[in-house]
Structure 1
């Protein structure tokens, strides 16, 4: 539901650059690249083949904001009981005591299996 509200309220621009009747570049949220040279743009006469179109796609501007007091009494009771029933449903687990958490094994000076010549076959 939150994604639907977010996507319906976004406003963005769509820029298109044409050279003649051929679409050269399309850009959303940025400027479309031009195919005309910078030298041509600097000159007094500009080519009439270059054309840019900008479309602004507007999102929804008006949203209805409801508050808890706008609901009827029955709806408020249902909403509060729903919240409390699910809030108390998910309780955390108790912290467990692990007695060997900080235990480090003793250092081995020699390998006892090799010392006694006992091997698992």
Structure 2
């Protein structure tokens, strides 16, 4: 149960880190006051009513377009990068001593440790608890 809970929490934390650092932009195309098109990962194509530039410079016909594009940018968090340069000498010393002592907590078995692989239990000829009629309740 503890391992399942640990895996669920670690997966959830990975998704939180992923989505907190994710940046994206939403492009919107309006014709007048109506929203015509939205796009998340690419530019909007428009409705085809955009004003074209005049063919020559002599024509000074300028008319405001009824269409406009807006872009909403959602910036992700950039503060998750840990800089090792900012760790002081005392902090480095503490981290090194902590890792050293933590690794040394787990000692291996010695060479003289017996694991009873070749031990065979004695052969039981009579069941004593049945002979004496003593039972544990």
TM-score scaled by length of structure 2: 0.45
Query: TM-score by structure 1 length?
Result: 0.50
Which structure has the bigger radius of gyration?
2
